[in-house]
Chain A
Amino acid sequence: MKKELFDSVCEEKVYERLYQQHARDLHDFCYYKFGDSINPEDKVHEAFMKLWEKCKEVPFAKAKSFLFTLVNNASLNSIKHQKVVLKHQAVKPKGYTNETPEFVMEEQQFMQRFERALNNLPEGQRIAFMLNRVEGKKHQEIADMLGISRKAVEKRIYTALDKLRQEIKEL
């Protein structure tokens, strides 16, 4: 790790490596934070541009938290974009379709309910929940990304999960 001490973010190779390492997580983070109201890549680019501008001031070891802090603090300017909506992906994770029409109906209703519940989650909970459940991130990883304690992450995921369960239980 000694080498890292001398890695300057201003070096393009180092900069690119940082991009390869973190861009995807930042991208996902942004998506779960803002939904489809913005292009998450734009926010990632903004953060990295800022990093490039301040490459002399940000040591390599601090680059990751610098990036995530920027994305985390980013907010939407336009009021019409305040409603965050996670889009239902067209492609189903499972390919089989040998289901009864009733089942398909129920599934559809379930998904509608789920979508509403998910979008109604507080931002912090939704991000933690999605990163954990969908992106398979461990609690500590999420804690590092959000700059909060591992305990707080656990609580957020757990709360989100329970809220979703309450919402769809009635079905």
Chain B
Amino acid sequence: MKKENLFLRWLDHSLSEADRTALQDDERFSAYEKISQAAQYFRAPEFDASSSYDRLRLKQQEETKVRRLKPWRIASAIAALLVLGFLVFNLNADELTTYSTATAESLEVTLPDDSAVQLNAGTTLSFNEEKWQDARDVSLDGEALFKVAKGSTFTVETDAGSVQVLGTEFNVINREGLFEVTCYEGRVAVAINGKEAVEITAGQGLRLLNSKASRFETAVSNPSWVNDKSVFKSTPYHMILAELQRHYTIQIDASAIDKSVIFTGSFTHQDLETALRAVTEPLQLKYKIDGDRVTITK
């Protein structure tokens, strides 16, 4: 047998004793044997499969606690979030954020773009907070003063027309038969239903009363109601009475008088007696207070 083959057999642990003696005196073989012996010093550390298996199972149990629960937790968390998000989105998507003021109440509202809106008594303002980015629309029923944040644009929608904001401070009245926009700062574009938009600048106002549009000028820097006062200029008397009822918890019976008469004047929001005198005396009318009922007569 060739020596190489003997070496191979030796290496494969299948060398017979007889063949081994044939290699005994070979110099290379003794070197190999020496190497082989030296290699024993570098043996892998002892390993006990049974105890190692126990350690593995222990690891797996810990792993199970951490791993198996985690995906489930994440999945359920995601599911819960989805459901919640879906609900919130669906509930909110078409739900408007609405602010209303009751009688004698005033409210300051901040819009999503940080614009401030001050609501006069008996006013409802609503907008879609969720879709603010897409549709910056504010709908108004009543009267409100808008102080628009710089660089911000939105539209105030009313049933009589709309006001396109061009960065400004303005007051909008939208009450039965009256649509009035007063600009105190900057400019706004007012579009009365079915008509081309008109731009008004600071100190100007646009009024639509009984389908008749007119422009007017104002010297004041903010609407009177902000200062607890209601000021009227050539306004039908029933509107004055309506405004009065918004600032005082009263029921006015004015069936005995002509409510279409035009009135110019003001009343305070602080005291009912003073207010009533202010709106009745110039027209030589009389009033009688009976609890929350007020009767106005000639």
Contacts and interface: CB of A to CB of B under 8 A. Distances in A.
Interface of A: 16, 19-20, 23-24, 27-28, 31-32, 40-41, 44-45, 48-49, 52, 86-89, 92-93, 110-111, 114-115, 118, 129-130, 132-136, 138-139, 154, 157-158, 161, 164-165, 168-169
Contacts of B7: 158
Nearest to A107: B38
Given A165-B28, A169-B31, A135 B63 contact: no
28 contacts: A19-B53, A19-B56, A20-B49, A20-B50, A23-B52, A23-B53, A24-B47, A24-B49, A28-B44, A32-B44, A40-B45, A45-B59, A49-B56, A49-B59, A52-B60, A87-B42, A89-B42, A89-B43, A110-B38, A118-B42, A133-B39, A134-B40, A134-B42, A135-B44, A154-B8, A154-B11, A158-B11, A164-B35
Given A32-B44, A130-B42, A168 B35 contact: yes
Interface string B36-79: 11111111110101101101100110010000000000000000
B32 interface: yes
B41 A92 contact: yes
B35 A49 contact: no
Of B37, B42, B55, which is in contact with the most chain A CB atoms at under 10 Å from its CB?
Answer: B42
Contacts of B53: 16, 19-20, 23
A27 B14 CA distance: 25
Contacts, number: 101
A33 B289 CA distance: 103
B134 interface: no
A161 B32 contact: yes
Given A20-B50, A24-B49, A41-B47, A111 B41 contact: yes
Task: Say what secondary structure dominates the interface of chain A.
Answer: helix
Task: Say what secondary structure dominates the interface of chain B.
Answer: helix
Interface of B: 7-8, 11-14, 28, 31-32, 34-45, 47, 49-50, 52-53, 55-56, 59-60, 63
Contacts of B63: 49
B8 to A, nearest CB: 6
B166 to A, nearest CB: 62
Contact of A41 (B32, B39, B41, B55): B55
Contacts of A165: 28, 31-32, 35
A134 B55 contact: no
Given A20-B53, A49-B59, A28 B47 contact: yes
